[in-house]
Amino acid sequence: MSAPPVPPASATVRVPAGTTAGAAVREAGLPANGPEAVVVVRDPDGRLRDLAWAPEADVDVEAVPADSEDGRSVIRHSAAHVLAQAVQQLHPEAKLGIGPPIRDGFYYDFDVATPFTPDDLKKLESAMKKIIKAGQRFSRRRFADKDEARKELADEPYKLELIDLKGPEEDVVEIDASGELTIYDNVHAHTGETVWSDLCRGPHLPTTRYIPAFSLTRTAAAYWRGDEKNPQLQRIYGTAWESQEALDAYLERVAEAERRDHRRLGAELDLFSFPDQIGSGLAVFHPKGGIVRKELEDYSRRRHEQAGYEFVNTPHITKGQLFRTSGHLEWYEEGMYPGMILDEERDADGNVRKPGQDYYLKPMNCPMHNLIFDARGRSYRELPLRLFEFGTVYRYEKSGVVHGLTRARGFTQDDAHIYCTEEQMEGEIASLLQFVLELLRDYGLDDFYLELSTRNPEKSIGSDEAWERATNVLRKVAEETGLHLVDDPGGAAFYAPKISVQAKDAIGRTWQMSTIQVDLMLPDRFDLEYTASDGSRKRPVMIHRALFGSIERFFAVLLEHYAGAFPAWLAPVQVVGIPVTDDQREYVEQVAATLRERGVRVEVDSGDDRMQKKIRTHTLQKVPFMLVVGARDVEAGAVSFRFRDGTQVNGVPVADAVAAVQAWIGRRDNTSPTAESFTAAH
């Protein structure tokens, strides 16, 4: 009746002294193949060990199955070794870099004379398949000392370099933190001969046969040890999984992410483009994208009004002195568009008679807002003063990094600066964080965690004491939300620590969204003051915050989150009327006119296409409501709804239909209407 009891994959197993973990696992009847095959064990110290490991005393270990995160990492790491072996088979002159497992896959870096081609990848895949089929055993061997390792690895200059790395901060899979040096020999299944070896701390699969499914995905260059000053190696990326099914599922996730790519959807849905004539990283929004953007902004404006913000506007360009005062020119000049010299005058001989002024496009809004604060004397009664602006900024991103709307050279921040007293700071930040989370939820993002970026001593200004104070307040407030809090040491900007809200999208990717920074430095630099109740002059605390970060980027995140199917309140076209024949055209136009009067964005498709074709067209355009009207509907004074998912509700009286659509949009419901949800709602 019931299936025979299978030991849970994460079973604990006792390994008797002097015997191998693998033997104990087999003894316990744990799977040796399939997706749950035990690939390594975790010892009582939490360290992963090969199945060939034989402890000196009895220990209880945890069996690690292939289909766990650790299991997959081991598969991927071993797959990286197989890749390296294949590369050296086909390109004997290739020198080895490093080859770690990464999220969803692995890579290996090689120093080769000519970069790999897609064709090379195919050849390498076949070579890897042969190695896997041969069932080579991964055999761990310990070097007596560094000299022995150096001798054996004399032909591998990069590995030699790794041997001499010391200190736990150098965490690479080749070297163990304890300083123990090991090498893995790949041993021929029958002859016992060592076929290939690689410096590595392990652990590894018992044999190459434990790599059930893999694929090489792409090639790229990468600087040796991640440093721009070092030579570039050729990197090959791959992925490996516990089963063919898991690999297929992964490839499907990648394909889904591609389908959702905002650059693709932006073109397909006619939302925005990047004309070459304007320049890299500078977007134009088409009418349909413009509507979405306007809705995003309008709603944000309304919420900010309610939350006590005041709206300001500032120019896109300013004299350099402002950014010298703020420190931006000192810290970020390379990220700014080069300055331009204006108003210079020369005499007939070309000598400068009147020196020019340097102007810069603004990379940030805060200095301008500071000037607004400083435009007149400020009283404590005015604080907190919250200045908000959709401020467009320009940053000179390096040519290789611009990426659609998510990494652009010109973008608009929903930027606000809050000036408050030291006593107000904590309460202000706490309510701000709630405001941010609430607003993000209103746009349909609801899975968050927080990140606290703290001071980088090399790249910052201000006193230790000020940083500590600001950081402590941020930490306290972040902890009070109850959300998961991740530390990001050294990740802060030069002038302030920050909390960032990370949001998870519909397919599980996380995006950095809102940021909140407590700035105790810029008020000093700008010598900002307010008059306290006792008549003394005091320095305000300044809080920087952006919810969207950049509107363009937020737009892109939502576009990908919704896969182009925006909620009805954001959709560029909310309703399309589709007459079944020309006879219903006028009737549909009337229904549309009624909707339009009520502020609904509606179009009527009165083209020559057949109804089926129109449904297809507007389904692909992700229109939330299609109103199909045939003779029967006209006769009944009704319309028939068709939704994105193909479901329908027929024969809805016009007045009900109009009211229901209006209500749906007005609620800012973030789900796509379906026959079921729509019927339930009206």
Partner RNA sequence: GCCGGUGUAGCUCAGUGGUAGAGCAACCGCCUUGUAAGCGGUAGGUCGUCGGUUCGAUCCCGACCUCCGGCUCCA
Minimum distance from CB of 650 to RNA (Å)?
Answer: 5
Residue 417, interface with RNA (CB under 7 A)? no
Residue 637, interface with RNA (CB under 7 A)? no
The single-letter DSSP state of residue 235 is E
- Is 395 designated active site? yes
Check 109, 414, 415, 633 and give the catalytic one: 415
Residue 238, interface with RNA (CB under 7 A)? no
Q: Compare residues 44 and 231 and give the one whose CB is closer to RNA.
A: 231
Residue 455, interface with RNA (CB under 7 A)? no
Minimum distance from CB of 384 to RNA (Å)?
Answer: 21
Asked whether 512 and 264 are in contact (CB, 8 A), the reply is: no
Residue 262, interface with RNA (CB under 7 A)? no
Q: Compare residues 250 and 380 and give the one whose CB is closer to RNA.
A: 250
618 known member of a binding site: no
Q: Which one of residues 25, 611, 654, 665 is an interface residue with RNA (CB under 7 A)?
A: 611
Residue with tokens 């009147």: 354
- Is 417 designated active site? yes
Check 544, 545, 601, 644 and give the catalytic one: 544
Check 67, 70, 366, 517 and give the catalytic one: 366
Q: Which of 555, 677, 551, 554 is nearest to 625 (CA)?
A: 677
Provide the 3-class DSSP secondary structure of residue 322: helix
Q: Compare residues 61 and 615 and give the one whose CB is closer to RNA.
A: 615
Site for RNA in 276-295 (CB under 7 A): 276, 279-281
Residue 113, interface with RNA (CB under 7 A)? no
Q: Which helix (H) or strand (E) holds 516?
A: strand 510-519
Q: Which one of residues 404, 410, 577, 673 is an interface residue with RNA (CB under 7 A)?
A: 404
Q: Which helix (H) or strand (E) holds 314?
A: none
Q: Compare residues 209 and 403 and give the one whose CB is closer to RNA.
A: 403
Q: Which amino acid is at 457?
A: P
Site for RNA in 638-657 (CB under 7 A): 640, 642, 644, 646, 648, 650
Three-state SS letters, 535-596: CCEECCEEEEEEEEEEHHHHHHHHHHHCCCCCCCCCCCCCEEEEECCHHHHHHHHHHHHHHH
Q: Token pair of 65, please?
A: 């199955």
Burial class (CB in 10 A: 0-12, 13-18, 19+), 413: buried
Q: How far, CA to CA in Å, does 537 sit from each of 368, 380, 383, 518, 542? A: 22, 10, 14, 20, 16
Q: Compare residues 13 and 233 and give the one whose CB is closer to RNA.
A: 233
Q: Compare residues 379 and 590 and give the one whose CB is closer to RNA.
A: 590
398 vs 210: CA distance, rounded Å:
43
366 known member of a binding site: yes
Check 85, 136, 234, 413 and give the catalytic one: 413
- Is 504 designated active site? no
Residue 616, interface with RNA (CB under 7 A)? yes
Cis peptide before 203 (omega within 30 of 0): yes
Residue 22, interface with RNA (CB under 7 A)? no
Q: How far, CA to CA in Å, does 389 sit from each of 211, 269, 365, 610? A: 54, 29, 8, 47
Q: Which helix (H) or strand (E) holds 12?
A: strand 12-15
Distant-in-sequence, close-in-space partners of 344: CB < 8 Å, separation ≥ 6 = 352, 354, 355, 356
Site for RNA in 466-525 (CB under 7 A): 493-494, 515
Q: Which one of residues 161, 422, 446, 609 is an interface residue with RNA (CB under 7 A)?
A: 609
Residue with tokens 């003063």: 385
Cis peptide before 673 (omega within 30 of 0): no
Count of beta carbons in the 10 Å neighbourhood of residue 153 = 21
Minimum distance from CB of 531 to RNA (Å)?
Answer: 29
Check 235, 395, 455, 614 and give the catalytic one: 395
Site for RNA in 526-585 (CB under 7 A): 580-583
Residue 401, interface with RNA (CB under 7 A)? yes
Check 417, 561, 601, 618 and give the catalytic one: 417
Q: Compare residues 260 and 561 and give the one whose CB is closer to RNA.
A: 260
Residue 232, interface with RNA (CB under 7 A)? yes
Residue 396, interface with RNA (CB under 7 A)? yes
- Is 420 designated active site? no
Q: Token pair of 681, please?
A: 């709602």
Q: Which one of residues 82, 416, 626, 657 is an interface residue with RNA (CB under 7 A)?
A: 626
Minimum distance from CB of 407 to RNA (Å)?
Answer: 6
First to last CA, the chain: 48
Q: Token pair of 487, please?
A: 């530390």
- Is 91 designated active site? no
Q: How far, CA to CA in Å, does 151 sit from each of 26, 159, 160, 183, 417? A: 38, 11, 9, 13, 61
Residue 359, interface with RNA (CB under 7 A)? no
Q: Compare residues 89 and 217 and give the one whose CB is closer to RNA.
A: 217
Residue 335, interface with RNA (CB under 7 A)? yes
- Is 403 designated active site? no
Residue 194, interface with RNA (CB under 7 A)? no
77 known member of a binding site: no
Q: Which residues are annotated as a binding site?
A: 366, 417, 544
Catalytic residues: 366, 395, 413, 415, 417, 498, 544
Q: Which residues are annotated as a binding site for Zn(2+)?
A: 366, 417, 544
